Amino acid sequence: MSSAALILAFVTLQRLGELVLARRNTARLRAQGAYEVGAGHYPLIVLLHAAWLAGLWYLAVWRGPATVEWLWLGVFAVLQLLRLWVIATLGPRWTTRIIVLPGAPLVAGGPYRLVAHPNYCVVAAEILVLPLVFDLTIYGLIFAVLNAVVLWRRIRVEDAALDR
């Protein structure tokens, strides 16, 4: 198995595990009276991320093993640590959807002390950096722009829902 395949297998399994965690957390929050906001754009986010990852598999593995840029892989590893920090900070409130729990205070610790949307910052960086690991600069830029468009809408919906 090539280095590119191992890296992408790790990212794919990580994302699938996060979807399981998000689904579990969403169900628990809903059981506590929480509700979802902005569900209409959620399928677009899923499609964008799935297309990004599938395209990376095609370009970096199936089309021919890509060379791995180890410096960029190091940057991506740091982003994974930041991702874990966000997930740990939100704990049972971390989901992939916009879930509002009435009466619950906004999380203000961890990376949320520094920036309002650290998860989106990490995701935006990952969408650009992982393609750079495989020297796919144009691919990374295209998906970074597409993601920015989707995030622009999502952040507006989330901020309105959380009354920021």
CATH of residue 154's domain is 1.20.120.1630
pLDDT on residue 66 = 82
Residue 83: how many CB atoms within 10 A of its CB? Answer: 19
Residues (pLDDT < 70) of the chain are 164
Q: Is the distance from CB of 97 to CB of 28 less than 8 angstroms?
A: no
Domain assignment of residue 120, given as a range? 3-161
pTM: 0.93
What letter would DSSP give residue 124? H
pLDDT attached to residue 164:
54
Instruction: State both tokens at 103.
Output: 């009466």
What is the C-alpha separation between 115 and 52, in angstroms, rounded? 25
Instruction: State in Å, rounded, how far the first CA of the chain is from the last one.
Output: 47
What is the structure's pLDDT at 3?
96
Q: Where are the beta strands (DSSP E) in 20-110?
A: 35-37, 98-100
DSSP state at residue 98: E
Pairing mode, if any, of strands 35-37 and 98-100? antiparallel
pLDDT at site 96: 97
pLDDT computed for residue 122 by the predictor = 98
Q: What is the total count of domains within the chain?
A: 1
- Phi (first) and psi of residue 162, to 5 degrees: -90, 5
